[in-house]
Structure 1
Amino acid sequence: SSATNVIRNGSKTLPTLDDRNNTKNFNGDNNRLTAKASNTIDKERIVNIDTLNPYMNKWTIKVRVSSKSQIRNYQNARGPGKLFNCDLVDQSGEIRAAAFNTECDKFHSLLEIGKVYYIARASLKPANRQFNSLNNDYEMTFNYDTCIEQCDTDEGQSIPQIQFNFIPISEIANRPANNVCDVIGVVKSISNIDTIISKTSQKEFNKRELLLVDENASITVTLWGQQAEDFQNSSNPVVAFKGIRIGDFNGRTLSTLNSTLISQDPIETQRTIELRTWYDKEGKLMDLPDLSKGADIGNQQVPFKTLSQINTEGLGLNDKPDYINIKATTTLIKKDTAVYMMCPEERCGKKVVDENNGTFRCEKCNKTYNHFKWSYMISAEISDSTGAQWISAFRNEAETLLGISADEFGNHKLNQNENIIDDIFQKTMNRERIFKLRIKSDQYNDEQRMRITCMRVSDIDWSSHGRRLIEEINQIESIQH
């Protein structure tokens, strides 16, 4: 069967092993392919990937190379180095393998994507979950003793092309930022290619954004470099991403890495048919919650807490953010920074610079526009009977909080209507509401800080609030008895 259409950043066609004097056996003993004795790899000891662990010895696996990175250079305390990694699959699962320095040079050109190999004598260690989303507790390192032998074509027919470990789009809201995952969905919309210039390196990068949807949610996906250029813009394809990074800016986003695999309409998974049928029948007409705009996703009950419990219970200090409901009053809002001039591109959201000549420049998009959008970025203090806390509110939530659109507020600011702005804030102050908060600590300039974001603000439904209080009283009484 033909291989799935997989796009890889910087991928290229490598010469086949048959082009190299038809020699199939190679290992880490030197820099060239060498004929090996037939007993170099013990094919009687073939085990499945899912059984590998660091305590095994004298094992052999029969695997297909599903992806391979380019060689990357790095610098650490021991000096410069180089590495590449590849993903290996068999019928039981998948595992990531890496090769450094000498082994990097020896093995990079020899392993070909899509080909099947016997591999023996590599080391195993626990997988680094920040960079490895494969469904395996371990990852592999090729060393000086590693031996690899290419299988004949007919020997490898039973080995799958790729293994996916999909999570629903809604689950991305609960995963730590900067981790990687596998996800599949339908492309509902796609942008043109944009070119941006890196502030640090001054290099140009191409990017393209997709809106990916499944049955319960949607999310923005950014493709970078060659992946953005190679993406085939067919009519609402089903697209699978393997090893894509989770971002966290006022909501969740996805962004491709050099190692990310992109497969359009993949034949390896039943989800392709399920999503195609769902989208054509009803999905294309649905307005789904957008994680990239901070949409409220999740079936779990969000607990009510007090502001003091944020500190006493250590909320936000784990890998995953904490979500709570608070009944609180707005006591202070920073007026001067409540709105900003935003890039008019729908999915950018960055601040533009007023060039003072009727144009506005977006550094992220590297474009100049003759207009902009007003957008909220509110910093507010809320209080309850146990304490006070500063929170951030953006866009829809800020608009609900102030009761006026960002465009209207921005125009009042532009026209210096200070009295009207003061009235807007005054109506908001000392008004008790229910705030759903997202709490997460992060590192900023080597310092840990707590980010508390308003995900939803609503008026108090006093009847449901009363029922909740009665339930809490009953729970306390049952404990006392």
Structure 2
Amino acid sequence: MASDLAASKITPGVLDAIFNDPERRATDFPVPVCQCVQIKPLASQGNGAERYRVVLSDTKNFVQSMLATGANHFIHDQKLKKGSLVRLKQFQANALKGKKILVIMDIDVLEEFGEPEKIGDPQALKMKDEEEDVKPAPGAVSGAGFYGNKPAQQPAAAERSIPTRTGPSSSAAHGNIYPIEALSPYAHKWTIKARVSNKSEIRTWHKQSGEGKLFSVNLLDESGEIKATGFNEQCDQLYDLFQEGSVYYISSPCRVQLAKKQFTNLPNDYELTFDRETQVEKAEDQENVPQVRFNFTNIANLQTVEKDTTIDIIGVLKEVADVNQIVSKSTSKPYDKRELTLVDDSDFSVRLTIWGKTATAFDAQPESIVAFKGAKVSDFGGRSLSLLSSGSMSLDPDIPEAHKLRGWYDTHGRSNTFASHSGMASAGAAGGRQDPVMSIAKVYEDNLGMSESTDYFSTKATIVYIKQENFAYPACLSEGCNKKVTDMGDGTWRCEKCDISHPKPEYRYIMSLNVNDHTGQLWLSCFDDVGRLVMGMSADQLMALKDSDDPAAGRAFEEANCKTMLFKCRAKMDSFQDQQRVRYQVTGASPVNYTNEAQKLAELIKLYNI
């Protein structure tokens, strides 16, 4: 029977060995196999990553387990299911909430055995008598109701003060190392081994109640990442000790609390606050901890990401703008910013803003591969990104995603035309609505834009003419403004809305296109993101060519003609010089995907039974 074959693959008794006799587990059960008998999603805080608890059985015992977020894909891909057999490749036995729990970092799902019913009659794992290292925090959520749990009183353990040490240390001196993924307010005594992936500058504050300072570090191990913050005395004590890229042992007492999502870019529900007795030691072994952990979002998929979400992104650097300075409306302080344009193999582009010293020191060349960790998603201009102060940037990182992008770009990406997310939020209510694709004649026949409401449609058409007069306007450099600025004649440009002057403007497209298809012609108006896509350069660059009487400006308009694109449009009645007319505005554009078009034609042909 299939169930008998599956049962023969399971390793009976391995769970008892993992928790009560790890030496025997290592020699007798080097690659254990268990059955998953329950899966339960756990509620996350804010934008924290999804977490899952599973119950594993070795046919004799069962134990609660927690899946590291790096292994969530086994559930998302529907590989790990109730009944599945799993080979445990990387795991850690720990105590949480007064219960023994297995933290699983990596597994193999033995899909060939399917999802049989529970094998054997496993019992809750009994532990050897030992002093509990865990006590529940006040208000802790009970584990009752989870597989095999019964309400129980947990004995309290006396706290130990551990002096801070700074000398190099080995793993042997620390015994059982906690994975970051397992940290929670319910864990009392623990040590993590983690690499500092990011270190902030020292920030100070001054209030009526007093003043202070703080710094933070992002800590990384194989299971996950967590932010840790030091205030005042801990800032003085630990700031110089922590170095980006180095590995440390960090031991409690150290407060574990719910993460303040507005101040962190990490997908962890918790964060750490250093205590005056927190022990920090630099590790002798600096190699066996990951350098950096990314969870990249494809540029084309940014439209599905909620505003203000923090993401990681990697792309080819297509354009690098000059450093500009803006003045904060709230503090009146000046800030340096630089805009970058990234593209990837989804054939989409996105603008990403970097700030402060990162902006002024940026010296990467176009066509470099750049990875960003901790970029905030904005709906400005459809979709754009801003690197947070807690974020980081890696130039030409030695990771598979970067090598893949380099191969794609060098092979054919360099000559591709890239779409943007311009105006998608307004055009589709940010929900990815599929507007009907119409011929130009159909747009007129259906009287789109003639009613009081706005009509949306898409059309596939070819650009036949672009008005070269007034194709751009001088815009304010302040973040989120883009209002037209006035040349004051003294070398400055003034924005009335922001009530500030800039040394120069940023030119932005405001173009009129005439497009044709096989049924007729249509005048379309478009703005900066679409203009960049059509012209293949920024309005600043094109204006510089025009002002210098460079023939390249005329060639740029000629090359933009005869481009066939899919235009997402809206039609709305407008009043111009006391006359009512329908205005057709482009809210998004993309190159024609000929593979998709061919598939649509093939489906259409099938309908005719040809």
**Structure 2: tracts of 5 or more residues without a match:** 1-159, 436-447, 455-470, 512-524, 532-573, 590-610
Cα deviation, residue 275, structure 1: 0.8
What is the distance in 2 between the residues matched to 1:340 and 1:235?
24
Deviations 1:124-180 (A, max 9, x none): 22333333232333221112231111111xx12111221112111233333333332
Secondary structure of residue in 2 paired with 1:156: coil
Does 2:222 align with 1:68?
no
Contact 2:303 2:430 survives alignment (8 Å): no
TM-score normalized with structure 2 length: 0.48
Kindly tell me: are residues 238 and 292 of structure 1, through their superposed partners in 2, closer, same or farther at Cα, counting changes over 3 Å?
farther
Letter in 2 for 1:331: E
Asked if 1 retains the 8 angstrom alpha-carbon contact of 2:487 and 2:494, the reply is: no
Q: Secondary structure at the match of 1:112?
A: coil
Residue aligning to 1:179: 309
Q: Distance in 2 between matches of 1:89 and 1:419?
A: 58
Contact 2:420 2:530 in 1 (8 A): no
Residue identity opposite 2:318 in structure 1: K
1:12-34 per-residue CA deviation (whole Å, 9 max, x = no partner) reads xxxxxxxxxxxxxxx9989xx76
1:180 maps to a residue whose letter is T
* Residue pairs, 1:327-338, within 5 angstroms: 330-331=451-452
Note if 1:278 corresponds to 2:408: yes
Aligned-pair RMSD on alpha carbons? 4.4
Structure 1 residue aligned with 2:216 = 85
Contact 2:259 2:269 in 1 (8 A): yes
Deviations 1:191-237 (A, max 9, x none): 12233444554444332211011122211111222112222232411
Q: Secondary structure at the match of 2:181?
A: helix
Aligned residue for 1:279, secondary structure, equals helix
Q: Equivalent pairs: percent with the same residue? A: 32
- Structure 2: distance between partners of 1:148 and 1:277: 42
Contact 1:375–1:395, Cα closer than 8 Å, also in 2: yes
- State the distance in 2 between where 1:265 and 1:292 align: 27
Q: How far has the Cα of 1:120 moved from its partner?
A: 0.9
- Counterpart secondary structure, 2:289: coil
Aligned partner of 1:11 in structure 2 is: none
CA deviation after TM superposition for structure 1 residue 365, in Å: 8.4
Distance of 1:37 and 1:358 partners within structure 2: 61
Which of the numbers 390, 413, 427 marks the counterpart of 2:581?
427
- Indicate how the Cα distance of structure 1 residues 28 and 169 shifts in structure 2: closer, same or farther if over 3 A, else same: farther
Instruction: List per-residue Cα deviations over 1:64-122 (Å, max 9, x = no partner).
Output: 11111011123578543322110111122221111222222222122111211111112
Cα pair distance change 1:282/1:303, threshold 3 Å: closer
Partner of 1:467: none
- Gap runs ≥5 in structure 1: 1-26, 305-326, 334-338, 377-392, 400-417, 437-453, 457-481
What is the rounded CA distance, in whole Å, between the counterparts of 1:117 and 1:177 in structure 2? 35
SS at match of 1:50: helix
Match of 2:56 in 1: none
Bigger relative contact order, structure 1 or 2 (CA pairs below 8 A, ≥6 apart): 1
How much has 1:358 moved relative to structure 2? 10
- Match in the other structure for 1:343: 475
Equivalent residue runs for 1:70-469 within 5 Å: 70-74=201-205, 79-121=210-252, 122-152=254-284, 155-216=285-346, 217-267=348-398, 269-291=399-421, 294=424, 302=433, 330-331=451-452, 342-343=474-475, 350-355=482-487, 361=493, 363=495, 366-368=502-504, 375=510, 395=527, 421-423=577-579, 426-428=580-582
> For this pair of structures, how many residues does the alignment match?
339
What is the aligned partner in structure 2 of residue 475 from structure 1?
Answer: none
- SS of residue paired to 2:388: coil
Q: Give the letter for the 1:422 counterpart.
A: D
In 1, distance between residues paired with 2:424 and 2:329? Answer: 27
Q: Distance in 2 between matches of 1:167 and 1:372?
A: 29
2:490 and 2:379 mapped to 1: Cα distance?
A: 32
**Letter of the aligned partner of 2:261 in structure 1?**
R
* Kept after mapping to 2: 8 A contact 1:41/1:147: no
